[in-house]
Amino acid sequence: MDARRFLAEFGHIANAPGGVQQLREMVYQLAITGALTPRLDTDGDARQLLADITTLKERLILEKKYKRLPKLESKALDIPSHIELPASWCWTRLLDIGVISPRNDAPDEAIASFIPMSGFSESHMGALAPEVEQWGKIKKGFTHFQNGDVVVAKITPCFENGKAAVIEGLEHDIGAGTTELHVFRSIHTGILPGYVYLFLRSPYFAVEGEKNMTGTAGQKRLPTEYFATHALPLPPSAEQSRIVAKVDELMALCDKLEAQQQAHRKLQNNLRQSTLQAVASATSPHELQTTWARLADNFGRLFHAPEDVVDIEQCVKQLALKGLLTLRISSEYVSEKLTELANTSVAAVPESEMDWLIPGYWVWARCAWLGEARLGKMLDASKNKGEFRPYLRNVNVRWGRFDLSDVLKMRIEEHELSRVSVRKGDLVICEGGEPGRAAIWDSDEEFVIQKALHRFRCNEWALPEYILFCLEHDYFSGRLSRYFTGATIKHLTGKALAEYPIPLPPVAEQKRILAAAKNLTRFIATLKNRLLAGNRCAETLASTAVANLTGIASKQEEEVIA
């Protein structure tokens, strides 16, 4: 590997999304191709090590102490043409230097260790989580291993996620665990388990391994044939030791780099939150202009990923509901009748429920004053009478839209239809499931609604789009949760919905607020797409750099090439 070239590409790789993980994979790849450590004359030649192992293996076969796999042994060694090994290295297979899927022999009463799949780590040489068990209880129906064995998960997604380990710390040296493992046991001290582990974690083994997995989606497995016979680059024992030590050193540096990036990300998130809070807390157009300018000037420092922009959307909604996105028109006021009700009724909104200041010509209004809410009906196709009607359920409601891909039909009698059906312009609000989630019915087709849904029909004082706007802001800010009932399963009851207060401007201003928010939402979507495109570009550059340095293309690189 060219050190200058690596240093030139390092920034592209490390700072890209998932860049540190790509660095780790690159380290594994460079380790098993001889690019991390120098050659020493005292190391000897791996061919002699392989000859010694072959002699030992023949003796163990004669002594019936070696588990043979004749079908796999007959398969020819397939040496990759794109990898050139150092002169003192040679190609071999796990099958030729150890035992595949070994078995343990121990008394049933012996204390052993059991490791489920959850007990294996995805991180480099991550700690195992063994459980103490009697050998007799775990020896059947599970995969056997012992201290010094090397294992790799064979099922998706554990294989793709890098679950592998050098087994250590077992009770009485033996153990068993999940059946979804391939196990290798060396027969010679010249094969270091740590080096085999690096081979199994390398892109060279993993990328091709994914292509060779068999089975259906969600249940794909790495075949034993691939695990046992995939060509393995073998260095002399002394160099194996240096490689393992160097990789551990570099992985520790990757961990440190990742921790620094996470700390920087946390600081960035906190700074973004405080800046947006300052914007959302503005109480005048002048203050809003000042804080927004500060946000715009520091956009590059505050926003890194597309999901960061979600915070701006909430901020925009907050500004809209404070009356800071629209200009006041002097002839517009909230209805005198509603204003009088808000000021004199025993049901008026107390200051404790007024979470921010609003313009003097607005009012805090409870939903009960702004329309009629009615729950639907729980229907049963086999029990109810009447004609079949499409039945709108909680699961069909998304934020701002309906998913009608799975609509049931239920019987309902004609005299009940008007009471529990929705018409164009009705706001449909979830009572349970994800209480508060809402959408506006925009179809001429008559649907019946489930009992877990509210039908809210606005009067002349409020637009359904504006109430939906308030619901969405208050749901994601947490304000709406005050009106939920239930300890574990939350509900927005009819009584709670009636008491839910919103900041209400005149109808004409509601329209202007919705238009202004829509324009800002388009602008935010543009920012999000720019961040997404930038991150994709950075990721592609990093993948290309890794591929150029290692000779192994990632899946993303292969897609680009295709």
pLDDT at 255: 93
pLDDT at residue 385, as a whole number: 73
Asked whether 150 and 196 are in contact (CB, 8 A), the reply is: yes
* Collapsed DSSP state (helix, strand, coil) of residue 345: coil
Domain 45-235's class? alpha beta
CB neighbours of 106 closer than 8 A, spacing ≥ 6? 112, 135, 139, 172, 174
Say yes or no to pLDDT of 488 above 90: no
Cβ atoms < 10 Å from Cβ of 470 = 22
Q: Torsion over CA of 217, 207, 222 and 66, rounded to 10 degrees? A: 180
User: Which stretches of 224-358 are DSSP H helices?
Assistant: 224-229, 237-280, 285-297, 299-302, 310-321, 336-344
User: What is the distance between the alpha carbons of residues 118 and 485, in angstroms, rounded to a whole number?
Assistant: 36
**Which are the contacts of 127, defined by CB distance < 8 A and separation ≥ 6?**
121
Pairing of strands 421-422, 232-234: unpaired
Q: How far is 431 from 373, CA to CA, in rounded Å?
A: 11
Q: What is the pLDDT of residue 335?
A: 83
CA 247, 250, 253 angle in degrees (round to 5)? 150
Q: Residue 299 corresponds to which amino acid? A: F
Q: How far apart are CA 123 and CA 91, in angstroms?
A: 27
Nearest-angstrom CA–CA distance, 458 and 45: 84
Look up residue 439 and give its two tokens: 């959408």
* CA separation for the pair 184, 115 (Å, rounded): 16
Which one-letter amino acid corresponds to residue 175?
G
Q: Grade residue 2 by pLDDT with cuts at 50, 70 and 90.
A: low
Do residues 13 and 546 lie in contact, with contact meaning Cβ atoms separated by under 8 Å? Answer: yes
In whole angstroms, give the CA distance from residue 44 to residue 24.
29
Report pLDDT digits (tens) over 257-315. Answer: 999 989 988 998 899 889 888 988 888 888 888 988 888 888 878 888 888 888 888 88
**Does residue 562 register a pLDDT over 50?**
no
8 Å CB contact between 514 and 321: no
383 confidence band (pLDDT: 50, 70, 90): low
Bridge partners of 454, per DSSP, are 375, 429
| pLDDT the model gives residue 342 | 77
Question: In terms of residues, how long is the chain?
Answer: 562
Q: Where in the chain is the domain with CATH 3.90.220.20?
A: 45-235, 336-505
User: In the structure encoding, which two tokens stand for residue 405, read together?
Assistant: 């891909």
| Phi, psi angle pair for 425, to nearest 5° | 100, -10
Of 190-204, 320-334, 345-359, 504-518, highest mean pLDDT: 190-204
Interval 410-419: pLDDT, tens: 877 777 778 8
Task: Output the six-digit token pair for 39.
Answer: 């050659």
The H or E element containing residue 57 is helix 46-62
Report the Cα 52 to chain-centroid distance in Å: 48
Percentage of the chain modeled with pLDDT above 90: 59
Model pLDDT, residue 556 = 46
3-state helix, strand, coil in the chain (%, to 5): 45, 15, 35
From 181-190, 342-351, 360-369, 474-483, the region with the lowest mean pLDDT: 342-351
Supply the pLDDT for residue 205: 96
For residues 240-256, average pLDDT: 95
pLDDT at site 529: 87
CA 398 to chain centre: 21
- Rounded to an integer, what distance in angstroms lies between the CA atom of residue 407 and that of residue 485? 28
pLDDT tens-digit map of 403-462: 999 888 887 777 777 888 899 999 999 998 889 999 999 999 889 888 899 999 999 999
- According to DSSP, residue 422 is labeled E
Structure tokens at 504: 């209400």
At 375, the pLDDT band (50, 70, 90 cuts) reads very high
Sheet holding 143-146, edge to edge: 131-134, 111-115, 174-177, 143-146
Question: In 10 A of CB 337, how many CB atoms?
Answer: 10
Whether 120 and 162 have beta carbons less than 8 Å apart is answered as no
Q: What Rg value do the Cα atoms of the chain yield, rounded?
A: 33
CA-wise closest residue to 25 among 206, 233, 164: 206
Give the pLDDT score at 561: 41
Q: Where are the alpha helices (H) located in 336-437, listed in sequence order?
A: 336-344, 367-370, 414-420
- Structure-derived torsion over alpha carbons of residues 452, 458, 461, 464, reported in degrees to the nearest 10: 80
| Strand partners for 132 | 113
Instruction: Quote the distance between the C-alpha of residue 29 and its chain's center.
Output: 26
φ, ψ dihedrals at 71, nearest 5° = -65, -40
State the CB neighbour count (10 A cutoff) for residue 267.
10
From the list 275, 300, 309, 302, the residue with the least C-alpha distance to 525 is 309
Average pLDDT value for residue range 176-184? 98
State the pLDDT at residue 108.
Answer: 95
- Which 8-state DSSP code applies to residue 81? T
Q: What is the pLDDT of residues 43-99, one digit of tens each?
A: 999 999 999 999 999 999 999 999 899 999 999 999 999 899 999 999 999 999 999
The percent of residues above 70 in pLDDT, for the chain, comes to 94
Residue 345 CA from chain centroid, whole number = 49
Three-state secondary structure call for residue 15: coil
Contacts for 299 with CB less than 8 Å, ≥ 6 apart:
527
Mean pLDDT score of the chain: 89
**Amino acid 396: pLDDT:** 93
Q: Tell me the C-alpha distance between 119 and 543, whole Å.
A: 31
For residues 486-498, give the mean pLDDT.
92
Q: Are 162 and 206 in contact (CB under 8 A)?
A: yes
pLDDT of residue 551: 67
pLDDT of residue 310: 81
Range ranked top by mean pLDDT from 127-141, 275-289, 318-332, 523-537: 127-141
CATH topology of domain 336-505: Adenine-n6-DNA-methyltransferase TaqI; Chain A, domain 2 (3.90.220)
Establish whether the linkage from the previous residue to 17 is cis, with ω within 30° of 0: no
